[in-house]
């Protein structure tokens, strides 16, 4: 102890692996009841289709909260895995195009993806990069208003590669920002960007939230 506080000690690989196993077990145990709650909410939406807008809004909110809880479990796992991943050149454009196509097909969600021609790859923790981009899109899909598209752009900006993801999220964008990047030190998303040597910032409107991620360019064009 120094200066009235505990000093930080390095975490051994064995301790990190043990913590990861515990987290995976807890995630597995929690996902089963969460999945059941989501199924019940979906069933209620169908059964109570004529019950009125307020009832349907409550069911939709319940489903969103379940999805957000599941996302937080994934976020904790990502946060632990980032430190073990090697930073290398990653084809962000290709990953985003594949994920956007899968999401649009699976959920009929309109995703407006704009990729600048010839945009380079990005430097990022390579073994968890695909998981990271999927994780980020899932968050915005979860909080976006149902009828509105996700707007995703990837382009060069002043020697960096800029990824922006925007959605209309309703009247409390600040609350969703805190979920995505809780103070004071963030979570899996911010830790990924710190490991990548990039930056994470946000832009808020009255009912919109945009995440702006700046990456160092990688070695190859997209």
Could you tell me which residues are beta bridge partners of residue 112?
151
Q: What is the mean pLDDT of the chain?
A: 78
Distance CA 121, CA 218 (A): 5
**What pLDDT, on a 0 to 100 scale, did the predictor assign at position 185?**
58
Residue 111 · residue 100 · CB < 8 Å: yes
pLDDT-based confidence at residue 8 (cuts at 50, 70, 90): very low
- pLDDT for 205 beyond 60: yes
**What pLDDT, on a 0 to 100 scale, did the predictor assign at position 38?**
66
Sheet with 120-125, strands from edge to edge, namely: 87-90, 120-125, 217-221
Distance CA 49, CA 120 (A): 48
Average pLDDT value for residue range 9-16 = 56
Distance CA 75, CA 178 (A): 13
- pLDDT for 157 beyond 50: yes
Helices of type H across the chain: 13-47, 53-82, 92-107, 129-143, 173-180, 188-196
Query: Considering only 16-25, 65-74, 196-205, which range has the smallest mean pLDDT?
Result: 16-25
Q: How many CB atoms lie within 10 A of CB 53?
A: 7
What's the predicted TM-score (pTM) here?
A: 0.71
- pLDDT for 42 beyond 70: no
Query: Considering only 62-66, 89-93, 103-107, 129-133, which range has the smallest mean pLDDT?
Result: 62-66
Average pLDDT value for residue range 52-77 = 71
For 115-143, write each residue's pLDDT tens digit.
999 999 999 999 999 989 988 888 888 77
- pLDDT for 10 beyond 60: no
């Amino acid at each position: 102890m120094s200066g009235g506080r505990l000093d930080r000690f390095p975490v051994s690989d064995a301790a990190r692996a043990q913590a990861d196993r515990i987290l995976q077990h807890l995630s597995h145990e929690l996902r089963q009841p969460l999945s059941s709650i989501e199924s019940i909410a979906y069933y209620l939406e169908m059964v109570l289709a004529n019950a009125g807008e307020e009832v349907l809004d409550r069911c939709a909110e319940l489903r969103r909260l379940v999805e957000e809880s599941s996302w937080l479990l994934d976020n904790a796992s990502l946060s632990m895995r980032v430190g073990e991943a090697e930073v290398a050149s990653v084809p962000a454009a290709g990953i985003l195009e594949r994920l956007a196509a899968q999401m649009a097909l699976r959920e009929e969600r309109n995703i407006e993806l704009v990729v600048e021609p010839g945009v380079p790859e990005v430097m990022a923790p390579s073994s968890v990069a695909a998981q990271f981009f999927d994780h980020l899109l899932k968050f915005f899909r979860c909080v976006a208003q149902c009828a509105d598209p996700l707007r995703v752009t990837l382009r060069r900006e002043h020697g960096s590669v800029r990824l922006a993801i925007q959605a209309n999220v309703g009247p409390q964008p600040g609350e969703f920002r805190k979920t995505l990047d809780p103070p004071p030190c963030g979570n899996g998303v911010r830790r990924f960007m710190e490991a990548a040597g990039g930056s994470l910032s946000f832009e808020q409107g009255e009912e919109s939230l945009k995440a702006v991620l700046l990456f160092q360019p990688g070695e190859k064009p997209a």
